[in-house]
Structure 1
């Protein structure tokens, strides 16, 4: 069992609405791990269109781990969409020049850093991830959620703004899973453990690989 080819664009035969995303993205500031897939109802090339306000001159990165599942309509708002919310007016006067350039003298637009999605993260249909958010390994982002703050590993979050609904496992199990980091195993080892990885017995997975 060697598993699918991580370097193929369309891993499902005769189906071009799902892709291994790292083989599609062209923006060097979008970094995607192996086997992460994006599924789009219309065209997988919509993905980069859904990374909003991602301007080269800002330099922020969208970093997505391995084995993530990203549903159609998921969007990522980057730092270029930030405004001066603590000023009297949030209007971006300076970008229109013509004498308004001085509006930003001594000021900077808010910058919240890179957006980082861990490994084995499921991002549901029409979910929105805001700038600088970090989502832990194994997390689930519910359909239509708007994620405005960091998400803990193996948490399920939903709503607007998103809040933690529950954790997928108890804290001890989560610690073991993070230590195991199965997504970093060689693909042959992952293939050998497919039945355990897709089951619910974490202890059996740990014991089989201890």
Structure 2
């Protein structure tokens, strides 16, 4: 019985294990639509879910994880379109990334019966740090070397070399290459 459950929950383990370190208790669905680079670490309880079919809706989902990426415990990646995490980026524990939106019309019936849609790709640049408990919502693109503080909710895109905080997230610092320090924008 356990072997059957193991195959169900860990169908992509063999695909990833040759070039990356994945936790035994992570869940991957539709693994043929997940690309994982070399030396990637995926923490315990993480879910990587390119959604292909829901209630008769078909999607062309793909999740791309670059080389040297660290994904912490209990992280959730959900996509009906395209999601990319750039080389060398770090996603702390309990991070949530999604390009998926439910229909929310009060006149079209229960929310769970309304069609899903993508509100735009989620793209994380290279060498980004995404703090504990961050939520990154549909259509967000972060440039290279962005830093997102714990518990931030990122609802729009931001350029490279910025530090973000808050809900909704906003720029609090920018990296100054002349002094090689993060400088407050206030």
Under TM normalisation by the shorter chain, which class is it? 0.5 to 0.7
8 Å CA contact 1:63–1:115 kept in 2: the answer is yes
Give the corresponding residue for 1:116.
Answer: 123
8 Å CA contact 2:102–2:111 kept in 1: the answer is no
- Alpha-carbon distance, 1:162 to partner: 0.3
Give the corresponding residue for 2:20.
Answer: 8
The equivalent position to 2:84 in structure 1, one of 57, 63, 77, is 63
8 Å CA contact 2:69–2:87 kept in 1: the answer is yes
Say yes or no: does 1:51 pair with 2:72: no
Task: Point out 4+ residue stretches in structure 1 off by more than 2 angstroms.
Answer: 24-28, 77-84, 94-97, 108-112
Say yes or no: does 1:38 pair with 2:75: no
Structure ranking higher in strand proportion: 2
Equivalences, count: 137
5+ residue gaps, structure 2, are 1-17, 27-39, 51-60, 182-186
The equivalent position to 1:162 in structure 2, one of 160, 166, 169, is 169
The whole-number CA distance in structure 1 between the counterparts of 2:129 and 2:65 is 14
Give the corresponding residue for 2:100.
Answer: 79
TM-score with structure 2 setting the length: 0.60
The whole-number CA distance in structure 2 between the counterparts of 1:76 and 1:110 is 15
What whole-Å deviation, never above 9, does each CA across 1:137-184 have from its counterpart, x for those lacking one?
Answer: 0000100000011011010000000000010224x79xxxxxxxxxxx
SS of match in other structure, 1:76? strand
The alpha-carbon distance between structure 1 residues 80 and 153, as it changes in their structure 2 partners (threshold 3 A), is same
Structure ranking higher in helix proportion: 1
8 Å CA contact 1:123–1:143 kept in 2: the answer is yes
5+ residue gaps, structure 1, are 1-5, 11-15, 41-45, 98-103, 174-199, 202-210
The whole-number CA distance in structure 2 between the counterparts of 1:66 and 1:96 is 35
